Amino acid sequence: MADAAPHGAAEPSQDERTLAILAHVLQVVGWWIAPLIIFVIKRESRFVSFHALQALLLQVVYMVGMGGLMVLWFVSIFATIGHHGGGNNAPPPAFFLLFPLIWLGFMGAWVVMLVVAIVYGVKAGRGEWAEYPLLGPLARRLLKLSRGGVPLSA
């Protein structure tokens, strides 16, 4: 429990823990909308807003990644159609290589999202100020919090 609340911060209440859990877990089915609603509703709670903002930032990264995969998907479709021509009816080998890789990218990103939501939901339920790699420090900077949720002095 190295990330538990330090001496300067209050221990999160059970309601705060529950909302932090929901911010993480509901992003699997509610995408960016669920963490955004929780972030806006419980903005006064540093614990809930920290966890909800992390989930929201993860959803933004996820959407950008999925958008990139969609662009790659459509580019590969049109490149396959353009390269295929009209004479031969057999699909090109790139079709069998690229499409499964793109599909694995979609599924792999979803599995990572599911695992992150469960792991950090459990940590939030314990009252920990657990940070996502790379996104946790960004969330702390945006909320002007030090480690453990203590507000940075102005």
Whether residue 149 is predicted with pLDDT greater than 90 in this model: the reply is: no
Phi, psi of 118 (to 5 degrees): -70, -50
User: CA-to-CA distance for 33 and 31, rounded, in angstroms?
Assistant: 6
Angle (CA) 49-5-47 rounded to 5° is: 10
Evaluate whether residue 135 is within a structural domain: yes
- Give the bridge partners for 151, in sequence order: 145
Evaluate whether residue 92 is within a structural domain: no
User: CA-to-CA distance for 1 and 12, rounded, in angstroms?
Assistant: 14
Evaluate whether residue 59 is within a structural domain: yes
Alpha-carbon dihedral sign for residues 104, 110, 114, 116: positive
Percent of the chain with pLDDT over 70: 82
- Give the pair of three-digit tokens for residue 69: 């995969």
3-state class (DSSP) for residue 9: coil
User: CA-to-CA distance for 50 and 48, rounded, in angstroms?
Assistant: 5
Whether residue 122 is predicted with pLDDT greater than 90 in this model: the reply is: yes
What's the total number of domains in the chain? Answer: 1
- pLDDT given for residue 87 in this prediction: 57
pLDDT tens digits along 77-108: 777 776 665 556 666 666 677 778 888 888 99
Per-residue pLDDT band for 119 (boundaries 50, 70, 90) equals very high
Q: Which range marks the domain in which residue 123 is found?
A: 14-70+114-149
Percent of the chain with pLDDT over 90: 26
Phi, psi of 144 (to 5 degrees): 55, 50
Per-residue pLDDT band for 60 (boundaries 50, 70, 90) equals very high
Evaluate whether residue 31 is within a structural domain: yes
- pLDDT given for residue 70 in this prediction: 86
